[in-house]
């Protein structure tokens, strides 16, 4: 019986340390301006950016590749067809995302960003991938704001099966 109690206490201690480390890493990224505080399920939403920027190659160039390298996010741009795919192969799961041209919105232009798929132990993004996805979405937001300080943002929940 005492052996089981020791195992449970050690297990809870390890879990607390892991959660504290993840929280510290998230706080560090927020402090560095690489992530923002978001709803934990932000990856289940489509983000639409409405901007004056019509040059998709400029959007691709404005994305901070150093941040992607740091977070192990690879990107595959196809400026001619108006999309860029992102892939993160995390420790316990992966996700794919895409930024694509959405077309005209009156006198402005729209781009949509969404996570296409993610895998994790529970069917949700795991904590590391949520942080990486937050960094990715923040980098996309910053690219649009850099190109057009008046860029707008809308979000809509995806229909997930």
Q: Are residues 112 and 133 in the same domain?
A: yes
Rounded to whole angstroms, the Cα distance separating 42 from 45 reads 6
* Closest residue by Cα to residue 143 from 80, 105, 86, 90: 86
Q: Are residues 11 and 47 in the same domain?
A: no
pLDDT band of 92, cuts 50, 70, 90 = low
Q: Domain tally for the chain?
A: 2
48 versus 5: which is more confidently predicted? 48
Q: Return the CATH number at 116.
A: 3.30.310.80
Q: For the ranges 3-12, 23-32, 42-51, 140-149, which has the lowest average pLDDT?
A: 3-12
Enter the pTM of the model: 0.80
> In which domain, by residue range, is 3 found?
1-32
Q: Are residues 24 and 48 in the same domain?
A: no
Q: Are residues 7 and 45 in the same domain?
A: no
Say if CB 67 and CB 139 are below 8 A apart.
yes
């Amino acid at each position: 019986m005492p052996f089981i109690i020791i195992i449970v206490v050690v297990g809870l201690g390890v879990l607390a340390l892991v959660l504290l480390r993840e929280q510290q890493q998230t706080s560090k990224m927020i402090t560095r301006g690489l992530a923002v505080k978001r709803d934990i399920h932000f990856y289940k939403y489509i983000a639409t950016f409405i901007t004056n920027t019509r040059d998709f190659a400029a959007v691709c160039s404005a994305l901070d590749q150093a941040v992607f390298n740091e977070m192990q996010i690879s990107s595959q741009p196809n400026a001619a067809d108006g999309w860029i795919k992102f892939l993160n192969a995390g420790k316990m799961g992966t996700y794919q995302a895409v930024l694509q041209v959405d077309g005209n919105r009156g006198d402005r232009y729209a781009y949509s960003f969404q996570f296409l798929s993610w895998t994790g132990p529970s069917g949700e993004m795991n904590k590391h991938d949520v942080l990486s996805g937050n960094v990715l979405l923040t980098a996309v937001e910053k690219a649009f704001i850099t190109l057009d300080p008046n860029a707008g943002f809308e979000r809509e929940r995806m229909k997930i099966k």
